[in-house]
Chains A and B, each alone.
Chain A
Amino acid sequence: MSDKPKLAQYWASSCGGCEIAVLGLHEKILDVAGAFEIVFWPCVMDFKYADVEAMADGAIDVCLFNGAIRNDENAHLAHLLRRKSKVLVAFGACAYGGSMPGLANFTDREAMFDWIYFHSPSTENPGNVRPEMRTTMPEGDLRLPRFWNTVKTLEQIVPVDYFLPGCPPEAGSIEIAINAIVSGQLPPPGSVIGSDTTVCDECPREKLNKKVKRFYRPHEIIPDPNICLLDQGLFCAGIATRAGCNARCPQVDLGCRGCYGPNEGVYDQGAKLIAGIGSMIDADTVEEVEAILDTLPDPAGYFYRFHLPQSLLRRKALGNGKKQPKTEPVAATR
């Protein structure tokens, strides 16, 4: 054992991109390897959960935790790593805001399983198999962790020291975080490591007066490379998204997707996008507003793509799935 600070990294419900992002540091990864002793990183090295359980509490100096929490296993590891780590970092958009897995909060477990295992056009399931928490086989019981109705962020499960946004976090952001940890020059606990302005601040495109008659999908027009994408009717979440990525997507003609989450002090990125996008609609009548909004497909997905579990909405109301009876307007009596 060396006296270098001990680093752990873990993925919960995520795509694996955050793991790749760390490798995206290229040769700087060697500095990381040189500066830290890696004690847990299931993606690249062979460790068992039992190894972590055997550690003393607080034995890990820094744990980079990526992925959202959507089942008992995710939550177990979140609690375990919190206990074992001095500094716990919610690494990437899923751990920070719920991100793509969090869009499952627009539906519920049963509806999701029904679709995935039975009804989706690409499903082939002749045996009508459906995942169960316990399956009895001749050799014994097989167990799966309990799958939750609601996707949560890491902070909704355990206290988190720092948040590193991004899907995945840009190499530059990771570098800043690692350097801060190594040098001990850390911001106050609870901070989001990043800028306190929005992507527009880093975007070189010229901003115009933001009035649009319709929205376009990326394949529908070839945008002017120098003018703000929103001014051209292309959806861009940069107006309501924390800066720190150097406006990577807008710089290659692609609207910001919002992966760095809400700006400093904002509770609900989706609400801010609704306010911002709503303010741009150049309409005189209600019908015209509706027509313009119809050119923006899946607004809930656009506005809450990276942030739904952390937003003020959290999720779609869990009900019995029944539609509320529509009240008929009472006929006016004379």
Chain B
Amino acid sequence: MSDKRVGVYVCHCGHNIAGTVDVEHVAEWAWGLPNVAVSRDCQFMCASLGQDMIEEDIREHGLTHIVVASCSPHMHEKTFRGACERAGLNPYLFEMANIREHASWVHPHDKDGATDKAKALVSAAVHRVLQQQPLEPLQVDIRPETLVVGGGIAGIQAALEIADAGFPVYLVEREPSIGGHMAQFDKTFPTLDCAACILTPKMFDAGAHPNITLLTYSEVEQVDGYVGNFTVRVRRKARHVDESLCTGCGTCWEKCPKKVIDTVFEAGMGYRTAIYRPFPQAVPKYPVIDTENCTYYQTGKCKICEKFCPTEAIRFDMEDEYVDLEVGNIVLATGYDIFDARRIPQYGYGRLANVFTSLEFERLTNAAGPTEGKVVLRDGVTEPRSVAIIHCVGSRDKNTNEYCSAICCMSSLKFDHLVMEKTGAQVYNFYIDMRPIHKGYEEFYHRILDEGTQFIRGRVAEITDAAHSPEEEGKLIVIAEDTLIGRQRRVPVDMVILAAGLEPRADAQGVAHMFGVGCGDSGFFTERHPKLDPVATMTEGVYIAGACQGPKDIPDSVAQGAAAAARILGVIFRKQVALEPIRASIDESRCSGCRICNTMCPYNAISFIEELSVSRVNPALCKGCGTCVAACPSQIITGAHFTFEQIMAEIDGILVDVHTAPPEHTAVEAV
């Protein structure tokens, strides 16, 4: 131990740390910690001056271990590891004490306490670093194939970017066609261009691209492996149509006698047949048979589609198939679900016929929709004379979702315009705040204001059909407090549109678990860093794009799809990636084979070796999470860089008396 020489660097971080913690005193005091050979404070350790100081001290003073007391390791661990490496020191002989997030920022009103805590944290880091061992990163090859999960606009964009760069992509989509929610929309804000007109060329490109393998009507069932080398099992649900023979002529669904309410693409507003293609521009063009509703599967009779199919492509005996894909990287672009407006019963959705959701209205106003674009009431013929649009349904509400769904202000403004344009009805908006925050959005808002829409600021309390006066008879009455005039208002209208918020997919938790990514409080997938790394996740090789990461509109989804693709292309071009050597390992000579750890590993990295009756960790699969280390009841699993000795030393260090006087020491000249 005596030949170990520790360098301690205490960062001011401008006023961020030094405004609360007495950093000079902490650096002075640290001289008394075991094996400390150099201790300094510095304005900004992360600046090149601070990094140079570490490098020069390592060379000049023969330092063997480095401690930097500054911010979170999430922020600058890489920076300081780099400095150590440049000076020839193994980067794992570096340890970081977080005296910003853990001391100065959380104790701004207790300078002495924050200083004491900073000293304890520095002591913990010094005690710990003395136990640390040099480690070497694992180099793994990167496969060039990429899996994109979800064929909405974000997934399509990611797939096209990667495919255009010349690398193979598998695009997996759960529904029979790619296109996602965007394919359901009529117009897009704020330019009001036709959603289909801008989306279908991209869908077609994705379908026809030589580097893209489209796997529609398919779902990922299992993911194994690690960055560069994932093995993914995809279930291809039986289409019951032979794609090699089908021409997409449409005879089958024209002849199919079974009509079913289409709850997916038409949002319950229209019908489809049992053998169907969700919409005319679907990619691929092949239909699927919905076996739950098909007469043949229910009664054993019918087969009309088979009879009329000119190419004999119908396959009633087709079964689900599994394909195993080998890919290097994965993009999750699984999108969102629309908030179920039934959860706010006072708004009457599902009970009051003429209360619509935003997605229902999208289908209503879509020229290819069930009413051919006519905005009418539930009876299918009556045009509304007055329409209320309720904002923030299932958003910004402690009872449902606290977050803002980001798109509803703008889609409501779009509806305002479409209603007025198509029916001339009076439109009332009930809103909390208007948030038209992107380019051209504020201008669009003013355009809608100028068109004569009414805006009433207040959250709607209730929508009822109980009339209080003759003019309310037969109408829906929207009851809300108008907070700008400070009065309750009752506004009778013919039609109500609920601007339902965006929610994580119902199965987001399961998908997150399968791909090893996290879900935040709101249930959306968690990015690696909310500001600086929005499309990567904590699992290397798995990226997220679009609304699965949080509510966002089309341009943001496209940007994220492209960003994820750029990140992946960078990795593919490097051909190899270095994995953190922080891994678990099992001392097989002492493993008693109890198998407690076997099912604990979230990455399936542990296997049981029957012949030896021991468990074994696959280091390439292990992410170093430490679950098995904690679970092992005989304590023979070690987490590299988080060993028992290191953690105990850290605890010993944090418990030292921080009120001892700083020791006398030989002054080290400033470099």
Which of A208, A265, A273 interacts with B633 by CB under 8 Å? A273
> CB within 8 Å of B: which of A181-221?
196-201, 207-211
Are the C-beta atoms of B599 and A200 separated by less than 8 Å? no
Question: Is there a chain A Cβ closer than 8 Å to B575's Cβ?
Answer: no
Are the C-beta atoms of B594 and A198 separated by less than 8 Å? yes
Which of A196, A201, A280 interacts with B596 by CB under 8 Å? A280
Question: Is there a chain B Cβ closer than 8 Å to A30's Cβ?
Answer: no
Contacting residues, chain B, for A208 (C-beta < 8 A): 595
Q: A210-B598, A210-B599, A211-B599 are in contact. Are A276 and B631 (CB under 8 A)?
A: yes
Question: Is there a chain B Cβ closer than 8 Å to A266's Cβ?
Answer: yes
Most A CB contacts (10 A, CB to CB) among B613, B632, B634 go to B634
Contacting residues, chain B, for A211 (C-beta < 8 A): 599
Stretch of A10-18, A235-243, A321-329 with 4 or more beta carbons under 8 angstroms from chain B: A235-243
Are the C-beta atoms of A210 and B594 separated by less than 8 Å? yes
> Would you give the shortest CB distance from A207 to chain B, in whole angstroms?
5
Question: Is there a chain A Cβ closer than 8 Å to B220's Cβ?
Answer: no
> CB within 8 Å of A: which of B583-619?
590-600, 613
Which of A196, A207, A209, A272 interacts with B590 by CB under 8 Å? A196
Contacting residues, chain B, for A210 (C-beta < 8 A): 594-596, 598-599
Are the C-beta atoms of A275 and B631 separated by less than 8 Å? yes
Contacting residues, chain A, for B631 (C-beta < 8 A): 275-276, 278-279
When C-beta atoms are compared, the residue in chain B nearest to A231 turns out to be B595
Could you tell me the distance between the alpha carbons of A273 and B633 in the complex, rounded to whole angstroms? 6
Are the C-beta atoms of B594 and A207 separated by less than 8 Å? yes
Q: A239-B634, A266-B635 are in contact. Are A200 and B593 (CB under 8 A)?
A: yes
Contacting residues, chain A, for B632 (C-beta < 8 A): 272, 275-276
Contacting residues, chain B, for A197 (C-beta < 8 A): 590-592, 634, 636
> Would you give the shortest CB distance from A209 to chain B, in whole angstroms?
5
Contacting residues, chain A, for B600 (C-beta < 8 A): 279
Contacting residues, chain A, for B644 (C-beta < 8 A): 265
> Would you give the shortest CB distance from B36 to chain A, in whole angstroms?
28
> Would you give the shortest CB distance from B246 to chain A, in whole angstroms?
41
Contacting residues, chain A, for B633 (C-beta < 8 A): 198, 239-240, 263, 272-273, 275-276
Are the C-beta atoms of B596 and A239 separated by less than 8 Å? yes
Question: Is there a chain A Cβ closer than 8 Å to B578's Cβ?
Answer: no
In the complex, per-residue mask of B97-113: 1 if CB is within 8 Å of any chain A CB, else 0: 00000000000000000
> Would you give the shortest CB distance from A213 to chain B, in whole angstroms?
14
Are the C-beta atoms of B594 and A200 separated by less than 8 Å? yes
Question: Is there a chain A Cβ closer than 8 Å to B630's Cβ?
Answer: yes
Could you tell me the distance between the alpha carbons of A208 and B593 in the complex, rounded to whole angstroms? 10
Contacting residues, chain B, for A276 (C-beta < 8 A): 594, 596, 631-633
Contacting residues, chain B, for A273 (C-beta < 8 A): 633
Could you tell me the distance between the alpha carbons of A210 and B596 in the complex, rounded to whole angstroms? 6
Number of A-B residue pairs, CB cutoff 8 Å, is 72
In the complex, per-residue mask of A153-175: 1 if CB is within 8 Å of any chain B CB, else 0: 00000000000000000000000
Contacting residues, chain B, for A207 (C-beta < 8 A): 593-595, 613
In the complex, per-residue mask of B557-594: 1 if CB is within 8 Å of any chain A CB, else 0: 00000000000000000000000000000000011111
- What size tier do the contact residues of chain A reach? 20 to 34
When C-beta atoms are compared, the residue in chain B nearest to A243 turns out to be B592
Are the C-beta atoms of A275 and B630 separated by less than 8 Å? yes
Contacting residues, chain A, for B599 (C-beta < 8 A): 209-211, 279
When C-beta atoms are compared, the residue in chain A nearest to B613 turns out to be A207
Contacting residues, chain A, for B595 (C-beta < 8 A): 207-210
Contacting residues, chain A, for B635 (C-beta < 8 A): 263, 265-266, 272
Contacting residues, chain B, for A240 (C-beta < 8 A): 633-634
Which of B592, B598, B613, B630 interacts with A198 by CB under 8 Å? B592
Q: Is the interface of B mostly helix, strand, loop or mixed?
A: loop
Contacting residues, chain A, for B592 (C-beta < 8 A): 197-201, 239, 243
Contacting residues, chain A, for B630 (C-beta < 8 A): 275
Could you tell me the distance between the alpha carbons of A243 and B589 in the complex, rounded to whole angstroms? 14
Contacting residues, chain B, for A279 (C-beta < 8 A): 596-597, 599-600, 631
Contacting residues, chain B, for A275 (C-beta < 8 A): 630-633
> Would you give the shortest CB distance from B370 to chain A, in whole angstroms?
40
Are the C-beta atoms of A201 and B598 separated by less than 8 Å? no
Could you tell me the distance between the alpha carbons of A205 and B517 in the complex, rounded to whole angstroms? 37
Which of B593, B597, B613, B634 interacts with A266 by CB under 8 Å? B634
When C-beta atoms are compared, the residue in chain B nearest to A230 turns out to be B594
Could you tell me the distance between the alpha carbons of A174 and B105 in the complex, rounded to whole angstroms? 58
Could you tell me the distance between the alpha carbons of A198 and B637 in the complex, rounded to whole angstroms? 13
> Would you give the shortest CB distance from A198 to chain B, in whole angstroms?
4
Could you tell me the distance between the alpha carbons of A243 and B636 in the complex, rounded to whole angstroms? 14
> CB within 8 Å of B: which of A259-314?
263-266, 272-273, 275-276, 278-280
Which of A209, A228, A230, A266 interacts with B598 by CB under 8 Å? A209
> Would you give the shortest CB distance from B591 to chain A, in whole angstroms?
8
Could you tell me the distance between the alpha carbons of A263 and B598 in the complex, rounded to whole angstroms? 20
Could you tell me the distance between the alpha carbons of A183 and B69 in the complex, rounded to whole angstroms? 54
When C-beta atoms are compared, the residue in chain B nearest to A332 turns out to be B398
> Would you give the shortest CB distance from A50 to chain B, in whole angstroms?
44
Contacting residues, chain A, for B590 (C-beta < 8 A): 196-197, 264
Could you tell me the distance between the alpha carbons of A238 and B597 in the complex, rounded to whole angstroms? 15
> Would you give the shortest CB distance from A264 to chain B, in whole angstroms?
8
Are the C-beta atoms of B597 and A201 separated by less than 8 Å? no
> Would you give the shortest CB distance from B480 to chain A, in whole angstroms?
17
Could you tell me the distance between the alpha carbons of A230 and B592 in the complex, rounded to whole angstroms? 14
When C-beta atoms are compared, the residue in chain B nearest to A201 turns out to be B592
Contacting residues, chain B, for A263 (C-beta < 8 A): 633-636
Contacting residues, chain A, for B591 (C-beta < 8 A): 197
> Would you give the shortest CB distance from A321 to chain B, in whole angstroms?
28
Could you tell me the distance between the alpha carbons of A317 and B68 in the complex, rounded to whole angstroms? 37
> Would you give the shortest CB distance from A200 to chain B, in whole angstroms?
4
Could you tell me the distance between the alpha carbons of A264 and B593 in the complex, rounded to whole angstroms? 16
When C-beta atoms are compared, the residue in chain B nearest to A269 turns out to be B633
> Would you give the shortest CB distance from A182 to chain B, in whole angstroms?
28
Most A CB contacts (10 A, CB to CB) among B597, B598, B600, B632 go to B632
Could you tell me the distance between the alpha carbons of A61 and B299 in the complex, rounded to whole angstroms? 92
Contacting residues, chain A, for B596 (C-beta < 8 A): 210, 239, 276, 279-280
Most B CB contacts (10 A, CB to CB) among A209, A238, A275 go to A275
Are the C-beta atoms of B598 and A238 separated by less than 8 Å? no
When C-beta atoms are compared, the residue in chain A nearest to B398 turns out to be A332
Could you tell me the distance between the alpha carbons of A209 and B601 in the complex, rounded to whole angstroms? 12
> Would you give the shortest CB distance from A333 to chain B, in whole angstroms?
12
> Would you give the shortest CB distance from A129 to chain B, in whole angstroms?
45
Could you tell me the distance between the alpha carbons of A200 and B590 in the complex, rounded to whole angstroms? 11
> Would you give the shortest CB distance from B274 to chain A, in whole angstroms?
35
When C-beta atoms are compared, the residue in chain A nearest to B644 turns out to be A265
By a beta-carbon cutoff of 8 Å, the part of chain A in contact with chain B is 196-201, 207-211, 228, 230, 238-240, 243, 263-266, 272-273, 275-276, 278-280
Given contacts A201-B592, A276-B632, 17 further A-B contacts (CB under 8 A): A197-B636, A207-B595, A207-B613, A209-B599, A210-B594, A210-B595, A210-B596, A211-B599, A239-B596, A239-B634, A272-B632, A273-B633, A276-B594, A276-B596, A276-B631, A276-B633, A279-B597
User: What would be 15 A-B contacts, judged by CB atoms less than 8 Å apart?
Assistant: A198-B592, A199-B592, A200-B593, A210-B599, A239-B596, A239-B634, A263-B636, A264-B590, A265-B644, A272-B633, A273-B633, A275-B630, A276-B594, A276-B633, A279-B631
Q: Please name the 7 residue pairs, one residue from A and one from B, whose CB atoms are nearest each other, closest first.
A: A276-B633, A201-B592, A240-B633, A200-B592, A239-B633, A279-B631, A200-B594
